[in-house]
Structure 1
Amino acid sequence: MSNRAWPVGMVVRGDGVDLAVHEKGEPGHPTVLLVHGYPDTHVVWDGVADLLADRHRVVVYDVRGAGASTRPAGTAAYRLERLAADLRAVADAVSPSAPVHLVGHDWGAIQSWEAVCTTPGRFATFTSISGPCLDHVAHWTRRGARHPGALLRQGLRSWYAGFFQTPLLPELSWRTGAAARLLARAEGLPGGGHFGPTLRADAAAGVALYRANMPDRLLRPRDRRTDVPVQLVVPDRDRFVTPPMAGSAGAFAPHLWTRRVPAGHWAPVTHPEPIARLIAEHVAGGPRPRAAGEFDGRLAVVTGAGAGLGRAAALAFAERGARVIAADPDLDAAARTAELATLLGPRAHAYPVDVADAGRMEGFAAAVRADHGTPDLVVDGAGVLGARLFGAQMAERGSGHVVAVAPAAVAAPLRAGLSGSGVGVTLVRPGAVDAATPDRTERIAERIVAAVRTGRATVPGPRAVRLPGRVRVPR
């Protein structure tokens, strides 16, 4: 996966262990320290490092228990305090007189949280990818009564954390190779995964990460806060870390903002380009995501929000402060969009909607009005029925905006019916009904936001836009 081999590295003495450290790039550039997770080695960063090395000094290392670094025995050797001490030793060795820009993935992010919260002066910025602070998670779970559904979904995804507390079986599953094959297949990792020849031994030793830290931190959480600027990168297809749990850091890091990527848990491997771009932007101090507030307090209803353009539009408005109602024939998909929207903005809500059933659509429109009020804007990615129903509500009030993803001939009566009512209408003309790429749908979503802002009548659609199928919701 890397097009340039890592130069011969050096050995840094950590907290009782030797750490294999490598670097790329020129010493005069900003130092970016990349910390890998479990059960990886520094190789997980190859693609990202290649993209960063032209303008950054990129440093990676194998954490204790992995790759060419010391593999200590005993559970206590893997406590977060010792991992953070290792991290600081590497930072001191490669940049003794200036803070480094820290990036962590998975357990690399978990130990990085410990470091930036206990010694913030050593770090200029921090980018966290798919690895929350365990203390933040503990506080979040204690508030579980407020969001039992989110807590249950995260619990189901974290089943392996309980399995790793059992004796012998986790180590056996890794040493036989069964766990690695299952993981690579489940994540769709290219070539069966990026894992190196030390995987079986690394993974078996790294089980101690869970045993040394999970019970202790979840039962006795510390107060972990930081003023370091934090960029929270949330892969929207992560099988292990849900957006609500990732967002548990918000109460403890005042200078935190969230960026999303259309990727799974191993985004540094499968999507190195967007990850490298986000890191570079954060290191440079910008650009920041647009602050929520442009649509602050407005209610946005999005149909077809379970995927594709509908999801992208829902998240774009949520990021700018809108309260989102995510509707889709697939309730699980709508709930996923609502989770992501809540992480980016105000609390969002999910509804199952059968756009082919006029009676159910009328009931949905009435329920939204009763529970949340008349919408301020509607993005109807499933035709024009929703746009007509909510458009009528907005026309009664005399203000609002409707965006319809439909052919011009279908949308023309909608525009005529709302003419002079104070409700704006924007038409998105998709060239086809096939699935668009994530990049295309996000660009169209941004154009939709701009059209609502300026009152533009049409938005040129991508050559392919996903429209939801007509799946009926069971009674």
Structure 2
Amino acid sequence: MKNRTVTSDGVRLAVYEHGDPSKPTVLLVHGYPDTHLMWQDVVTRLVEDFHVVSYDTRGAGKTGKPSTLESYRLEHLANDLMAVADAVSPDQPVHVVAHDWGSIQAWEAVTEPANADRIASYTSISGPCLDHVAHWMRRPGLKVARQLLHSWYIGFFHLPVLPTLAWRLWLGRNWGQVMSLADGVPRRPGHPAPTITKDGINGMSLYRANFRPVMRKPRERRTTVPVQVIHPERDRYVTAPLTENLQKWAPKLWRRTIPASHWVALTHPDVVARMASEFIRHVDGAPATRSLRRAEVGRHRPPFTDKLVVITGGGSGIGRATALAFAKQGAEVVVCDINHDTAAETAALAGAKAHAYQVNVADEGAVAKFAADVAAAHGIPDVVVNNAGIGHAGALMDATTEEWQRVLDVNLWGVIHGCKSFGELMIAGGEGGHIVNVASAAAYLPSKVLGVYSTSKAAVFMLSDCLRAELASAGIGVSTICPGIVNTNIAGTTTFSGVTAAEQARKQEASTRAYRRRNFPPERVAAEIVRAVRQRRAIVPVTAEAKAARVLSRLSPTALRGLAARF
């Protein structure tokens, strides 16, 4: 690391450089009450490919404190940013990545026409342009009222004496604990910075010098610089509406979300570094990643365009219909089945953006390899549909251990393997996603003749409920689909306990006829799966009998058990 001092408007700025100066320069600007140290984990992830520069802003860390309140005005902060940019990259434009108040002051620099040739791109995290906010707040409504509630601390910072005392007497020494409890920021040596009390007190001048003048008389601040806005979905201070509908001000706009809290650079440095890197590379001429393509604002496209959907058991029935439904909505589809030929048929029907794999979902290693292969060849899936399953009927007392094992290996363990292998990828990707587990109405409809099958599907039902709770904080939804009687080949392949081969064949034929008479097509189940993902629905009974059984299981489970005993 190289340290240097850059003077701007009489203030000595502490600047920190990492990496090769011949590579594209990324300029990181911290917010309040942080210092350049908040970027440490992001720096380590960017430094191999970029010349990474950070600095302590006015009054923070080792940078000097201005002598007047007016010296904290936005125009001076923007001058600081440009002074650092000119010092560390005099011949090439810089890529700015900023957070919180760093983002607010970076907007000031980015929207200054004279800087258009000096800033190649701008990634804004949790810090809107104050002028844009002021214009937005002139349209009062519930969204504005909600943002005002989230901005309560701004009013507090304008009070005399009290906020300074709060920092000196309690906040300064407890700031790390506050961040940990409120936003899940991990405690670690060196953060918060040793100067936190001073930084907290000095930084309140940012609010006092700028909010009232800008709110009273906002300017028209526009930019031609490519802008990427990253919004942490659990941000306690900047609500989503402040990051939406910015095309008027920044027509070259991308908007991405992360299921995280305000200090996302500290809690999710991998994701922040990846998003910044993808955007910078694209601005510099590289093809946009799938994630970045779907983040581009103003592109009109089908709802699942630039999304990757993985479907198990996709060689026929509900799996095939689901693959075709997602493909029709613009998705790239990956289909797996234990039979490669049928998976390939589905992929051919789904179009050029579909791929087929042969996978036995009962094999944990095979599913793990499948997930790794998909990630390497196509990227991290946005949607995973664990659909593969087999049917089994007969009395529980007639079921053999081998029959139990076979059904549970596919119907339960197959779903577990898919959830774990792909869920881990989604969590690491940091952009959320959706997992669909195909259960059955048999999950909540007890039966004397479907005991083994019902048990496997009831386990999938509860697995999905537990997984939904566990993955909510990662922004990953989980839907449980309970189809009912659907006209697929499952009836013809269902095995039966305690019968001869000839009897089993007769029962399979009779079941197939019954399912055909019911004639509920798998395409209608597929439509419900697509809708469940779009609406992030938790539990979806599909057919009339599935819906009726679901209602009865909740209103009168005793009656349902009585019916099961009689029939």
Match of 1:170 among 163, 176, 183: 163
Matching of residue 278 in structure 1 with residue 311 in structure 2: no
Match of 1:80? 74
For the 8 Å contact 2:35–2:56, the answer to whether it is kept is yes
Give ranges in structure 2 of 5+ residues lacking alignment. 283-287, 305-325, 331-434, 446-459, 480-521, 540-549, 555-567
Give the letter aligned to residue 293 of structure 1: H
Match of 2:133? 137
Matching of residue 437 in structure 1 with residue 462 in structure 2: no
Give the letter aligned to residue 408 of structure 1: S
Partners of 1:113 and 1:172 in 2: CA distance: 31
Could you say if the C-alpha distance between residues 221 and 429 of structure 1 is closer, same or farther in structure 2, counting changes exceeding 3 Å?
Answer: same
Matching of residue 227 in structure 1 with residue 224 in structure 2: yes
Match of 2:25? 31
Give the letter aligned to residue 234 of structure 2: R
Match of 1:245 among 237, 242, 247: 242
SS of residue paired to 2:103: helix
- TM-score normalized by the length of structure 1: 0.64
- How far the C-alpha of 1:34 sits from its partner, in A, is 0.2
SS of residue paired to 1:50: helix
Partners of 2:149 and 2:29 in 1: CA distance: 27
Matching of residue 93 in structure 1 with residue 87 in structure 2: yes
Give the letter aligned to residue 139 of structure 1: H
Q: Deviations over 1:153-186 (max 9, x none)?
A: 1010000111111112111111223366364232
Give the letter aligned to residue 289 of structure 1: R
Could you say if the C-alpha distance between residues 429 and 213 of structure 1 is closer, same or farther in structure 2, counting changes exceeding 3 Å?
Answer: same
Partners of 2:462 and 2:256 in 1: CA distance: 27
Match of 1:363? none
Report % sequence identity. 46
Q: Which has the higher helix share?
A: 2
Matching of residue 20 in structure 1 with residue 26 in structure 2: no
Match of 1:161 among 154, 158, 162: 154
Give the letter aligned to residue 302 of structure 2: F
Could you say if the C-alpha distance between residues 430 and 127 of structure 1 is closer, same or farther in structure 2, counting changes exceeding 3 Å?
Answer: farther
- How far the C-alpha of 1:26 sits from its partner, in A, is 1.3
Q: Deviations over 1:33-68 (max 9, x none)?
A: 000000000001001111111111100000110001
Give the letter aligned to residue 171 of structure 2: A
Name the larger-Rg structure.
2
4+ runs of 1 displaced by more than 4 Å? 403-406, 410-413, 428-431, 438-445, 454-459, 465-468
For the 8 Å contact 1:40–1:199, the answer to whether it is kept is yes
Matching of residue 198 in structure 1 with residue 226 in structure 2: no
Q: Deviations over 1:378-420 (max 9, x none)?
A: xxxxxxxxxxxxxxxxxxxxxxxxx98651345999xxxxxxx
- How far the C-alpha of 1:20 sits from its partner, in A, is 0.6
Matching of residue 408 in structure 1 with residue 405 in structure 2: no
Could you say if the C-alpha distance between residues 156 and 69 of structure 1 is closer, same or farther in structure 2, counting changes exceeding 3 Å?
Answer: same
Q: Return the structure number with greater relative CO, CA threshold 8 A, min gap 6.
A: 1
Partners of 1:199 and 1:85 in 2: CA distance: 24
Partners of 1:128 and 1:18 in 2: CA distance: 25
Partners of 1:72 and 1:48 in 2: CA distance: 28
Match of 1:262? 259
SS of residue paired to 1:295: coil
Q: How does 1:314-325 map to 2 (within 5 A)?
A: none
SS of residue paired to 1:194: coil
Match of 2:64? 70
SS of residue paired to 2:15: strand
SS of residue paired to 1:176: helix
Q: Deviations over 1:130-155 (max 9, x none)?
A: 000000000000122xxx11111101
Match of 2:293? 289
Please, which moves more after superposition, 116-125 or 282-291? 282-291
Could you say if the C-alpha distance between residues 31 and 439 of structure 1 is closer, same or farther in structure 2, counting changes exceeding 3 Å?
Answer: farther
Partners of 2:34 and 2:245 in 1: CA distance: 24
| Aligned-CA RMSD value | 3.6
SS of residue paired to 2:257: strand
- How far the C-alpha of 1:295 sits from its partner, in A, is 3.4
- TM-score normalized by the length of structure 2: 0.54
Please, which moves more after superposition, 155-164 or 435-444? 435-444
For the 8 Å contact 1:32–1:56, the answer to whether it is kept is yes
Partners of 2:166 and 2:473 in 1: CA distance: 38
SS of residue paired to 2:137: helix
- How far the C-alpha of 1:107 sits from its partner, in A, is 0.3
- How far the C-alpha of 1:296 sits from its partner, in A, is 6.4
Could you say if the C-alpha distance between residues 205 and 439 of structure 1 is closer, same or farther in structure 2, counting changes exceeding 3 Å?
Answer: closer
Q: Deviations over 1:6-42 (max 9, x none)?
A: x240011112111111111112221100000000000
SS of residue paired to 2:23: coil
- How far the C-alpha of 1:293 sits from its partner, in A, is 3.1
For the 8 Å contact 2:58–2:65, the answer to whether it is kept is yes
Could you say if the C-alpha distance between residues 441 and 173 of structure 1 is closer, same or farther in structure 2, counting changes exceeding 3 Å?
Answer: closer
SS of residue paired to 1:81: helix
For the 8 Å contact 2:259–2:474, the answer to whether it is kept is no
For the 8 Å contact 1:433–1:466, the answer to whether it is kept is no
Partners of 1:48 and 1:169 in 2: CA distance: 35
Partners of 1:236 and 1:265 in 2: CA distance: 8
Give the letter aligned to residue 300 of structure 2: G
Partners of 2:185 and 2:148 in 1: CA distance: 24
Q: How does 1:369-384 map to 2 (within 5 A)?
A: none
Give the letter aligned to residue 101 of structure 1: H
SS of residue paired to 1:121: coil
